Amino acid sequence: MDYDDSTSDNSSLQLQKNIIIPLATVKSEDGEKLIYHWHIIIPPRYPFEPPHVYNLNNITHDDIDSSGRLLVKALSKDWSAVLTLSSVICILELFICGTLKDMTPQDILHLDSNYDS
């Protein structure tokens, strides 16, 4: 996991985590692994305020807004200060597994990413 503490206002911590999941439920023709890129911003009031989690792949999904922000209750109104960054990663992994289950292969492989690795 990489982090960047050189934010514009130096008041928040930003993390990037690559989660690689083999396409067990839905496979591409060549069986490639799918890589989701996430940008996690830890606000100054963390853990009393949830991290902001953004998907950097251009995925169209009801729980991802037009800016790529992940919109799940656990990262908004259901957030609790007892949740950790490990909890956030678990939330991401659960979201990805649910997303893979609900999306078609065309949706999943539509990764015209704005993330340059």
Specify the higher pLDDT residue, 88 or 15.
Answer: 88
| Contact predicate 111/58, CB 8 Å | yes
What pLDDT sits at residue 66?
A: 92
- Return all residues near 78 (Cβ < 8 A) that are at least 6 apart: none
Specify the higher pLDDT residue, 85 or 83.
Answer: 83
What pLDDT sits at residue 60?
A: 81
- 117 located within any domain: no
What pLDDT sits at residue 7?
A: 47
- 116 located within any domain: no
Specify the higher pLDDT residue, 73 or 35.
Answer: 73
Any idea what the CATH number is for the domain that residue 31 is in?
Answer: 3.10.110.10
Answer whether residue 96 shows pLDDT above 50. Answer: yes
pLDDT tens digits, one per residue of 45-64: 999 999 999 988 888 888 99
| Contact predicate 79/50, CB 8 Å | yes
- 113 located within any domain: no
DSSP string computed for 1-32: -EEE---SSS-SEEEEEEEEEE-SSS--TT-P
Structural domain containing residue 33: 2-108
- 72 located within any domain: yes
- 48 located within any domain: yes
- 114 located within any domain: no
- 100 located within any domain: yes
Mean pLDDT of 96-113: 56
Answer whether residue 34 shows pLDDT above 50. Answer: yes
What pLDDT sits at residue 26?
A: 40
| Contact predicate 15/1, CB 8 Å | yes
Mean pLDDT of 82-96: 86
- 65 located within any domain: yes
Instruction: Give me the number of domains the chain comprises.
Output: 1
pLDDT band at 94 (very low <50, low <70, confident <90, very high): confident
